[in-house]
Structure 1
């Protein structure tokens, strides 16, 4: 009946290659409340690293689940179970385990981070905002929490809320230049969304000062400048560099074509946009932009054909019906 003796026996059996009996003895030991939870967690880690992957999933889940059943009031037990669920792709179940752990011990910052990461991956943005706000009540000086909150608000187009959270997070992250750059990148998007263009430009510039080859920033900055018809020479240089270094990225190619379009370089824009179609990874925006370019080149029939393709992929695109019915470009 001794859990410790069973663990010694299991270790010997594992060394002899008798994995099946070793697992049985470990499982029995895990059901014994007298064996402390830290020892079980350590043992679980050792087994996960020493058996083949085919056995890993079932064994890990079984032992971790027993861990939570025998020690239901121990946060680490639920946290480990969440880690294993997440590792095998069961994100929603992992989230529930982390949340259970947090009800027991909300002082574990890693649990908040793990929960938020999963919520983000599951695209539960409202939950990200709520959970990060709860976490900030416990950890008001953790920049990462402002990052999650600001990012979720940004994706929901709550630009003012996003800017406020991101600025606060940036102030708290001055010792981590990489994180500061990430904040600046999102602030560029947030301030552009709220039409605070000077602040947007400064944020993007700061992000590029840290990493001149941050292609997402180069692309977004170029596109926003093109939409505003501002600093188009700068936009063209940034976008050209992005496409040169990422020749198969249809989104970056579309931005470059659109910058050229705004510079009234329609023939060049047409050639560039056709390269986007060659990637085989295009969207409604590509067809609509291509139609706009063809219209400027005098090919109205071709333009309408492309706009119709765009409508087929995105019936709710702004102005697309008006463009098609009037056979005219509206910007």
Structure 2
């Protein structure tokens, strides 16, 4: 799909989503606000024009119109929401956050927590890696809605990211008490323990998840392995992935995940054997696995081995430009200009560049 067509498609979906939220905002408007709206002429034309400017990515002009609309409809939160989106899409995140914060203050006072502004603020903070701010927002939301498991879950995950493992454990222990039949909350509790270095309790929490839903044991062990991998506990991550494979031995992705863990642990030969098992199961996608292994090897500092894997990927699928790019980039960055030029010429001969 051409880039412009993709952007247009993405915008259309996003626009439908936004309009739905705007409609729900308007359902909460007071009679006085609706009276004010019906007595303002030309505002709908402004709104349509602003919408069109957003579609054309003329964000500054859309922002000017939304600000005029706010002056015309000072109590219309749906316009403030649209303005916030315009700021966000235009790259003016600080101003977007300011708008969302105004809406968030109102959300906190509602009996039913809509969370429109909250969701957007959390998304922006996550994009910027501001997990302390996410924790702050979530704590305020949870104070207003203490029985909302989704808010508690978001808070717990943010605490893990922000390095507050004790608070994360507290939250997920609360959730597992409230919903003892939810395997995912036990998985999240396990992640909180892993973040805090309490590995035996983490393993116990994951085993409880497996006991609740044994048919999904492989999924839970994979999650456990991922959490240990992020904590650089590679032996524990390896053990968890091997448990996942014992439950689901024909799933090639688990072999490649295990292979990545083994590479990070310095077990390159074992990783190669593991990747070969993935390819044996899914031989039609052999190039994908070679390319993935190449990236992992490159990131771990195994340059020669990474080049070998990229070459294997190209040998299996010589029409994929991305494989050439990966190989050329690693060669150039390590002073192997001749090999880089060789593969550039090959890609050029095939009409890929």
Could you state the TM-score of these two structures normalised by the residue count of structure 2? 0.52
User: 1:181 deviation in Å?
Assistant: 5.1
User: 1:98 deviation in Å?
Assistant: 1.9
Which residue in the other structure is 1:83 paired with? 119
State the aligned residue count.
Answer: 252
Structure 1 position 115 matched with structure 2 position 151 = no
Structure 1 position 4 matched with structure 2 position 34 = yes
Distance (whole Å) between structure 2 residues aligned to residue 200 and residue 135 of structure 1: 24
Structure 2 CA distance for partners of 1:149 and 1:88, relative to 1, 3 Å: same
- Structure 2: state its 5+ residue gaps: 1-30, 51-64, 279-288, 310-328, 332-353
What secondary structure is seen at the aligned counterpart in 2 of 1:2?
helix
Which residue in the other structure is 1:246 paired with? 292
Distance (whole Å) between structure 2 residues aligned to residue 118 and residue 45 of structure 1: 24
Choose from 16, 21, 24 the match for 2:71: 24
Distance (whole Å) between structure 2 residues aligned to residue 196 and residue 56 of structure 1: 43
What secondary structure is seen at the aligned counterpart in 2 of 1:209?
coil
Distance (whole Å) between structure 2 residues aligned to residue 197 and residue 178 of structure 1: 13
Choose from 246, 263, 274 the match for 1:206: 246
Instruction: Kindly indicate whether the alpha-carbon contact (under 8 Å) linking 1:61 and 1:85 is maintained by their aligned counterparts in 2.
Output: yes
Pick which of 158-167 and 171-180 moved more: 171-180
* Equivalent runs, 1:43-62 vs 2, <5 Å: 53-54=89-90, 57=93, 60-62=96-98
Which residue in the other structure is 2:261 paired with? 220
Which residue in the other structure is 2:189 paired with? 149
* Equivalent runs, 1:152-301 vs 2, <5 Å: 152-174=192-214, 179-180=219-220, 182-183=222-223, 185=225, 202-206=242-246, 209=249, 211-214=251-254, 215-220=256-261, 236-238=272-274, 244-251=290-297, 272=305, 279=330
User: 1:86 deviation in Å?
Assistant: 1.9
Instruction: Kindly indicate whether the alpha-carbon contact (under 8 Å) linking 1:218 and 1:238 is maintained by their aligned counterparts in 2.
Output: yes
Distance (whole Å) between structure 2 residues aligned to residue 64 and residue 201 of structure 1: 41
Structure 2 CA distance for partners of 1:48 and 1:136, relative to 1, 3 Å: same
Instruction: Kindly indicate whether the alpha-carbon contact (under 8 Å) linking 1:250 and 1:279 is maintained by their aligned counterparts in 2.
Output: no
Choose from 137, 143, 148 the match for 2:177: 137
Structure 2 CA distance for partners of 1:200 and 1:74, relative to 1, 3 Å: same
Distance (whole Å) between structure 1 residues aligned to residue 140 and residue 99 of structure 2: 18
Distance (whole Å) between structure 1 residues aligned to residue 133 and residue 141 of structure 2: 13
Structure 2 CA distance for partners of 1:139 and 1:108, relative to 1, 3 Å: same
Which residue in the other structure is 1:13 paired with? 46
Structure 2 CA distance for partners of 1:71 and 1:208, relative to 1, 3 Å: closer
Distance (whole Å) between structure 1 residues aligned to residue 250 and residue 81 of structure 2: 39
Instruction: For residues 186-227 of structure 1, give each alpha carbon's deviation from its aligned partner in whole angstroms, at most 9, with x where no partner exists.
Output: 5997xxx79999975751423663632232223336777969
Instruction: Kindly indicate whether the alpha-carbon contact (under 8 Å) linking 1:102 and 1:108 is maintained by their aligned counterparts in 2.
Output: yes
Instruction: Kindly indicate whether the alpha-carbon contact (under 8 Å) linking 1:144 and 1:169 is maintained by their aligned counterparts in 2.
Output: yes
Distance (whole Å) between structure 1 residues aligned to residue 102 and residue 299 of structure 2: 53
Root-mean-square deviation (CA), in Å?
4.9
Distance (whole Å) between structure 1 residues aligned to residue 185 and residue 142 of structure 2: 15
Instruction: For residues 107-155 of structure 1, give each alpha carbon's deviation from its aligned partner in whole angstroms, at most 9, with x where no partner exists.
Output: 3222122223323333433332222223323333322222222123224
Structure 2 CA distance for partners of 1:14 and 1:59, relative to 1, 3 Å: farther
CA radius of gyration, larger in: 1
Which residue in the other structure is 2:109 paired with? 73
User: 1:166 deviation in Å?
Assistant: 0.9
Distance (whole Å) between structure 1 residues aligned to residue 242 and residue 188 of structure 2: 22
Structure 1 position 99 matched with structure 2 position 139 = yes
